[in-house]
């Protein structure tokens, strides 16, 4: 609970944070300086959405540098709320959690992309509930085949 409180305060006051974080891929613990944007709950875990500082962003592929990263709160080993403030983007480009959540699947970050796929089955509502931006572009009633288009961030939809 103190972690959630400290993160909420840092977000509200627009303060940088420094975390020690355990990566999911190889269990390595890394230190990151972040501009925290929001906290959300999904699939049994709390997550922090944040931008890495410029130095850290320069180490990742160029096409991913403009997008926030996602950190699972239970993998944060330590947190320091810095005195330094970060600048909030203009209102039109500001982080909007509701819009972000519509397009993020299984809490994997990455660039915004259009995906299309085919679903065969009777319950299309399960797909539409999971993908709020999904639209049915074509439907074959006889075989219950749906062609779906959705806008999503990252690669989580394919995992």
* pLDDT per residue as tens digits for the range 42-59: 778 898 989 888 787 777
Q: Using CA atoms, how far apart are residues 3 and 134, in angstroms rounded to an integer?
A: 34
SS3 at position 137 = strand
| pLDDT(22) > 80 | yes
Q: What is the pTM of this model?
A: 0.61
Q: Taking residues 91-105, what's their average pLDDT?
A: 54
Q: Please name the residue that has the structure tokens 């915004």.
A: 112
Cβ-Cβ contacts under 8 Å for 45 (sequence gap 6 or more): 72, 73, 74, 107
Pairing of strands 76-85, 69-72: unpaired
- Note the pLDDT tens digit of each residue in 25-38: 888 999 999 999 98
């Amino acid at each position: 609970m103190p972690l959630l409180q400290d993160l909420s305060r840092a977000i509200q006051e627009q303060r940088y944070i420094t975390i020690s974080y355990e990566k999911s891929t190889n269990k390595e613990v890394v230190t990151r300086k972040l501009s925290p944007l929001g906290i959300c709950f999904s699939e049994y875990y709390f997550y922090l959405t944040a931008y890495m500082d410029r130095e850290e962003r320069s180490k990742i592929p160029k096409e991913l540098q403009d997008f926030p990263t996602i950190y699972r709160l239970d993998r944060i080993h330590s947190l320091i709320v810095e005195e330094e403030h970060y600048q909030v983007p203009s209102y039109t480009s500001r982080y909007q959690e509701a819009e972000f959540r519509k397009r993020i699947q299984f809490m994997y970050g990455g660039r915004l992309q259009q995906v299309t796929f085919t679903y065969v089955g009777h319950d299309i509502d399960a797909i539409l509930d999971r993908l709020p931006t999904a639209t049915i572009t074509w439907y074959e009633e006889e075989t219950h085949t749906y062609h779906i288009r959705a806008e999503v961030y990252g690669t989580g939809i394919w995992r």
